[in-house]
Amino acid sequence: MAEGKRAPLPHDFHPPVESFTVVSDDVTAGGVLRDAQVYAAGNISPQLRWEGFPAGTKSFAVTCFDPDAPTGSGFWHWVLFDIPVAVTELPAGAGSAAAAFAGLPAGAVHVRNDYGSKDFGGAAPPKGDGPHRYVFTVYAVDEEKLGPDADASPAVVGFHLRFHALGRAQLVAEYEDPA
């Protein structure tokens, strides 16, 4: 990543929507990701809990995106949607294939991340590329079923979220793999 230049956050070009709160026992806003959320270490999806979402919410989606990846288009680490509205927390490991998706709500749909797997893939920036931001976002969705299926790309899911998000909550942390 070029020193001093940072890519825009993933929602900078989306229409404004209501904000709500997401917190985590595993990720601290503005902090550094723990080894558990690093691909080569734990590769475990973090615990997330949200509240204060807009009235009319019918489901949720959760994503993790690295806008600083040296790809020109960022890197999708996690894309999960059709989380039932009654679910307002995901335990650590809910998105991790290695943990057999323990705690993943029935009906929730994973699409492939940029590693090519349908699960959470932890941080793995190139050595010496500087700190990368990992944007964990919970979307409040106006439909029980967003529309895409498990074979959709993250871009297609993002397209649907742009038009069906009532609200957004995000938590941003960093990770760097020094040279």
Mean pLDDT across the stretch 6-31? 94
Q: pLDDT value at position 4?
A: 59
Q: List, for residues 39-52, the tens digit of each pLDDT value.
A: 999 999 999 999 99
Q: pLDDT value at position 99?
A: 78
Q: pLDDT value at position 2?
A: 46
Between the CA atoms of 30, 176, 45 and 77, what dihedral angle is there, to the nearest 10 degrees?
A: 100
Distance CA 145, CA 172 (A): 26
Contact between 67 and 7 under an 8 Å Cβ cutoff? The reply is: yes
Answer whether 0.75 is exceeded by the pTM. yes
Cα end-to-end span (Å), the chain: 13
Contact between 29 and 46 under an 8 Å Cβ cutoff? The reply is: no
Mean pLDDT across the stretch 50-79? 97
- Residue 147 CB neighbours (<10 A): 16
**23 pLDDT more than 70:** yes
**56 pLDDT more than 80:** yes
The SS3 assignment for 99 reads helix
Q: Catalogue all structural domains in the chain, each as residue range(s) with its CATH number.
A: 18-175 (3.90.280.10)
